[in-house]
Amino acid sequence: MAKLPNARQTATATATSQTLGRGGRGQPVADETIFARVYGAIVERRLEPGTKLGEEALCETFGVSRAQIRRVLLNLAHAKLVELRPNRGAYVAQPSVREARHVFEARRAVEAAVVERAADRMTEEMFESLAAIVREEHKAQERSDKQAAIRLSGDFHLRLAQIAGNEVLSSFLQELVSRTSLIIAAYGMTSDSGCSHDDHWTVARALRDGDAAAAIAHMNQHLRFIEEPLNFVTEADPLVDLKTILGPPAES
Ligand SMILES: [Zn+2]
């Protein structure tokens, strides 16, 4: 699995990139910076599933070589956020319905384990750190800052994984949270699909009260509330590439 930046690093890299602009004053741009910027744009749903990530445009944007862009795209492909199509280049991944279902199934399993461990370790300070995220999430929603709301809702889940203190679970969850964002972008019916901060409060309070069973049940229900409204009916693409479908099988 590719090493993902944590949500806070992603946010910082996104903010920095916006001020530095192309290439960043002649300084070499690190792979991690490019990764974080593209990663941030995908999980914040500024780059939609199916968007072509042209190498030339990326080279120009970051002022780096094609080899470097290819390296970053490969890492994003390992994180399942980018799809590399033979002879056609890189695209923001378009998760299938089956994949989307599997991601939610995996989240329910991983987050139940996270919540159970977090309940054991929860201190007043840890609860406060969760509460602070939920308050920020609420403020972001009030001012209709969708990107901040998406980032903060991911932060809530990842903070829980940190509290649980199992780095393997954290790493699984990081991948699942970013893939969920892509799934919501692909199948969400409304622009505010995703986490509800009310649900986050309910989970956090159950954890503060040391009620692991209730916290797991609330988390499970929370994930179902995100999954259920998604529109998993696939529509035919009117601009489907006939050559790909009807032409001779591609060599692999
Ligand atoms: Zn959530």
- Per the DSSP assignment, residues forming a β-bridge with 83 are 91
Q: How confident is the model at residue 25 (pLDDT cuts 50, 70, 90)?
A: low
pLDDT at 247: 76
- 92 C-alpha to ligand 1 centroid (Å): 23
Q: Which tokens is 152 given?
A: 């903060």
- 199 C-alpha to ligand 1 centroid (Å): 7
Type of residue numbered 120? D
pLDDT digit string, tens, across residues 82-116: 999 999 999 999 999 999 999 999 999 999 999 99
Instruction: Write the DSSP string, 195-230.
Output: --HHHHHHHHHHHHTT-HHHHHHHHHHHHHHHHTTS
- 129 C-alpha to ligand 1 centroid (Å): 15
- 50 C-alpha to ligand 1 centroid (Å): 25
- 153 C-alpha to ligand 1 centroid (Å): 5
Per-residue pLDDT at 3 exceeds 50:
no
Q: How confident is the model at residue 16 (pLDDT cuts 50, 70, 90)?
A: very low
- 226 C-alpha to ligand 1 centroid (Å): 8
Per-residue pLDDT at 119 exceeds 70:
yes
pLDDT at 232: 83
- 16 C-alpha to ligand 1 centroid (Å): 26
pLDDT at 231: 85
- Give the distance between the most distant pair of CA atoms in the chain: 63
- 174 C-alpha to ligand 1 centroid (Å): 13
Tell me, yes or no, if the pTM score tops 0.85. Answer: no
Ordered alpha helix ranges (H), 53-166: 55-62, 66-78, 97-121, 124-142, 146-164
Least confident residue range of 10-14, 96-100, 142-146:
10-14
pLDDT digit string, tens, across residues 197-224: 899 999 999 999 999 999 999 999 999 9
Do 231 and 189 contact (CB within 8 A), yes or no? yes
Task: Please report, rounded to a whole number, the percentage of residues in the chain having pLDDT higher than 70.
Answer: 83
- 84 C-alpha to ligand 1 centroid (Å): 29
For 97-227, CATH number?
1.20.120.530
- 19 C-alpha to ligand 1 centroid (Å): 30
Across the range 106-131, mean pLDDT stands at 96
Per-residue pLDDT at 126 exceeds 80:
yes
Across the range 52-56, mean pLDDT stands at 93
Do 169 and 121 contact (CB within 8 A), yes or no? no
**Residues within 5 A (CB) of ion ligand 1:** 195
- 195 C-alpha to ligand 1 centroid (Å): 4
Do 252 and 212 contact (CB within 8 A), yes or no? no
Per-residue pLDDT at 26 exceeds 80:
no
Domain 7-92 identical in fold to domain 97-227: no
- 247 C-alpha to ligand 1 centroid (Å): 44
pLDDT at 7: 42
- 144 C-alpha to ligand 1 centroid (Å): 17
Do 182 and 42 contact (CB within 8 A), yes or no? yes
Looking at per-residue pLDDT, the higher value among 24 and 191 belongs to 191
Give the angle subtended at the CA of 223 by the CAs of 120 and 220, to the nearest 5°.
Answer: 45
Domain ranges of the chain: 7-92, 97-227
Right CATH for 7-92 from 1.10.10.10, 1.10.275.10, 1.10.357.10, 1.10.1070.11: 1.10.10.10
Residues ≥6 apart with Cβ < 8 Å to 217:
none
